Amino acid sequence: MMPVDHLLILGAGLFVIGFIVVTTRKNAIAVLIGIELMLNAANINLVVFSRFDPDFLQGQVFALFVITVAAAETAVALAIVLKVYRHFKTADLDKISELRG
């Protein structure tokens, strides 16, 4: 069994990597990947913390809920990115200056 410290460091590391990707990348797809990394880091922390909760399944059920919301968010965000790409012919967030049809 892995120590809790290692799992929490893994979650924190994933969150930091996701945050760096979101703040430094200009591509919309890369930003979405960074957001997904941050959500997965939160899921790892929820599952790790649920080991110490008397109601063991509460953190894991909440993690499943976050995974479901993340999947829906990804589907909607990718649809928006595809629509923006068709209109502006780029996925670079700095080159998209207006959002009117």
What CA–CA distance (Å, rounded) separates 80 from 75?
9
Closest CA to 39 of 80, 77, 79, 5: 77
Domains of the chain, CATH where assigned: 4-88 (1.10.287.3510)
pLDDT 10s digits, 18-70: 999 999 998 989 999 999 999 999 999 988 888 877 667 888 888 899 999 99
Q: What is the pLDDT of residue 59?
A: 81
Q: What is the pLDDT of residue 92?
A: 84
pLDDT score of 95 more than 70: yes
What CA–CA distance (Å, rounded) separates 16 from 41?
9
pLDDT 10s digits, 1-21: 788 899 999 999 999 999 999
Q: What is the pLDDT of residue 89?
A: 85
Q: What is the pLDDT of residue 88?
A: 84
Q: What is the pLDDT of residue 67?
A: 92
97 exposure class (CB count in 10 Å sphere: 0-12, 13-18, 19+): exposed
Instruction: Calculate helix-pair angle for 57-88, 28-50, nearest 10 degrees.
Output: 180
What CA–CA distance (Å, rounded) separates 31 from 28?
5
**What pTM was estimated for this model as a whole?**
0.82
